[in-house]
Amino acid sequence: MKLTLTQKISVPQDVLVQDLGGESVLLNIQSEQYFGLDDVGTQMWQVLTEAESIQAAYDLLLAEYQVEPEQLHQDLQNLIEQLVNHGLVEVTGS
């Protein structure tokens, strides 16, 4: 999957999110696919789904965590790909 930093992440209507004290479980009620996120994954999810673009989310997360820029980029790419594959997010824009 080829992602660009100008794209936006959104949550489909048939996806439920349950916060479990800092961690989260995401469930696609149509496909019955679910996915668990630890506290860092949950923070990444929240920033990705609230930001105007993947770039904006990346910038916020880079400022929040002490992580190498390349590592954060790869981690975001991996998370987005897994979420898309499970039908838990949609990527829009170009």
Instruction: For residue 56, give the CATH number of its domain.
Output: 3.90.930
In angstroms, rounded to a whole number, what is the distance separating the alpha carbons of residues 69 and 10? 23
Cα torsion 15, 78, 25, 30: sign: positive
| Inside any domain, residue 40 | yes
Residues in the chain: 94
What pTM does this model have? 0.89
Domain that holds residue 21: 8-87
Phi and psi at 33, nearest 5°, equal -80, 135
Answer whether residue 94 shows pLDDT above 80: no
What is the predicted pLDDT for the residue at 59? 96
Per-residue confidence (pLDDT) for residue 34, from 0 to 100: 87
With respect to residue 3, please indicate whether it lies within any of the assigned structural domains: no
pLDDT for the residue 40: 93
pLDDT single digits (tens) 25-74:
999 999 998 899 999 999 999 999 999 999 999 999 999 999 999 999 99
